[in-house]
C-alpha cells in the first residue's frame, strides 16, 4: 500500500537541500524519498557536509552503531549543535532514538558506558519495544498533520511497518503526539492478532523536530517526508 506524491507534492521540496546521515542504516531510501519530493538529497558523513543544509534526516538502522560511528567521524558534536541550534531534523526508528533526550534501556559498551544520543526531543524512548526482527508487524495509523493530503473521503491512514521499532514512554511539554498504536488496532504479524496493553506513541513532533518509530521510507508512504518538508518551509 503506497501513497505516491501528487504532481504538486512532487515539487514541494524544490530548492531545498536535505541531508541524510549516511553512516549506517537505510539512508539510501530516505535520499530517494526527498529527491522524489523535488529536494536535493545529500549523504552526510563528515562535519563539513552539514553546512548549508535546510534539513536533516537520521535514518533507521542500529542506533548503537550510528552513535559509535558519529563519534568516530567527529560528527556527534556538530550534529548535536546543529539539531539544538534549530536545524529541522526528522528521525525514523533508530533516528527517533538518537533524537530522544533519554533512553529507558540504553545499550552499554564493554566498559559499561551507556550509548549516547544527539538529543533535542524531550522524550523517553524504549529500544526494540515492539520485539525483535521476527516480531516485525504492519498496521494502519491515524496520523495528525496530514491534512494537505486530504481527498473527498478524508485523510487516508498511514500504513506503517515496524521493524524492531522503539516506542515513546514519556513526552515533555511542547511535544505533540501525532500517532499511536492502540491496543485494539489490528496488526499483521505472525506473533499476534493485536497489540496488548496501553496505546503506544509512535510519531511526534516538537518545534523543528519530527520522529517516527516506523519506516515510511520503505513502504512507498511519501506523506511523512512531505510533512517534514512542509515543516522546513514553515507550512506545517
Query: What are the Cα distances from residue 219, in Å, to 10, 29, 63, 197?
Result: 17, 10, 21, 26
Cell of 55: 534539513
Q: Which residues are catalytic?
A: 93, 215, 217
127 Cβ neighbours under 8 A, 6+ residues apart: 63, 97, 103, 104, 105, 106, 107, 166
Instruction: Report the candidate in 68, 53, 88 with the shortest Cα–Cα distance to residue 23.
Output: 68
Inter-residue contact 181 to 141 (CB < 8 Å)? yes
Inter-residue contact 137 to 181 (CB < 8 Å)? no
221 Cβ neighbours under 8 A, 6+ residues apart: 2, 3, 158, 159, 160
Which of helix, strand or coil describes residue 24? coil
Pairing of strands 200-206, 209-212: antiparallel
Amino acid at each position: 500500500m503506497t501513497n505516491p506524491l501528487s504532481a504538486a507534492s512532487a515539487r514541494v521540496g524544490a530548492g531545498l537541500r536535505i541531508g541524510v546521515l549516511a553512516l549506517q542504516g537505510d539512508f539510501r531510501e530516505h535520499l530517494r524519498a526527498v529527491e522524489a519530493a523535488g529536494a536535493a538529497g545529500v549523504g552526510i558523513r563528515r562535519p563539513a557536509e552539514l553546512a548549508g543544509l535546510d534539513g536533516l534526516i537520521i535514518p533507521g538502522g542500529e542506533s548503537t552503531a550510528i552513535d559509535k560511528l558519529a563519534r568516530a567521524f567527529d560528527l556527534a558534536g556538530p550534529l548535536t549543535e546543529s539539531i539544538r541550534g534549530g536545524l529541522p531534523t526528522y528521525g525514523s526508528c533508530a533516528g527517533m532514538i538518537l533524537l530522544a533526550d533519554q533512553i529507558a534501556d540504553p545499550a552499554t559498551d564493554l566498559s559499561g558506558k551507556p550509548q549516547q544520543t544527539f538529543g533535542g526531543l524531550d522524550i523517553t524512548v524504549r529500544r526494540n519495544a515492539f520485539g525483535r526482527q521476527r516480531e516485525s508487524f504492519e498496521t494502519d495509523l491515524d496520523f495528525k498533520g496530514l491534512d494537505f493530503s486530504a481527498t473527498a473521503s478524508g485523510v487516508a491512514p498511514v500504513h506503517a511497518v515496524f521493524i524492531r521499532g522503539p516506542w515513546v514512554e514519556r513526552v515533555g511539554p511542547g511535544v505533540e503526539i501525532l500517532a499511536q498504536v492502540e491496543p485494539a488496532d489490528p496488526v499483521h504479524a505472525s506473533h499476534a492478532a493485536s497489540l496488548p496493553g496501553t496505546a503506544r506513541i509512535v510519531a511526534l513532533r516538537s518545534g523543528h523536530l519530527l520522529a517516527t518509530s516506523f519506516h515510511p521510507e520503505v513502504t512507498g508512504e511519501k506523506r511523512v517526508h512531505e510533512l517534514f518538508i512542509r515543516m522546513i518551509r514553515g507550512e506545517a
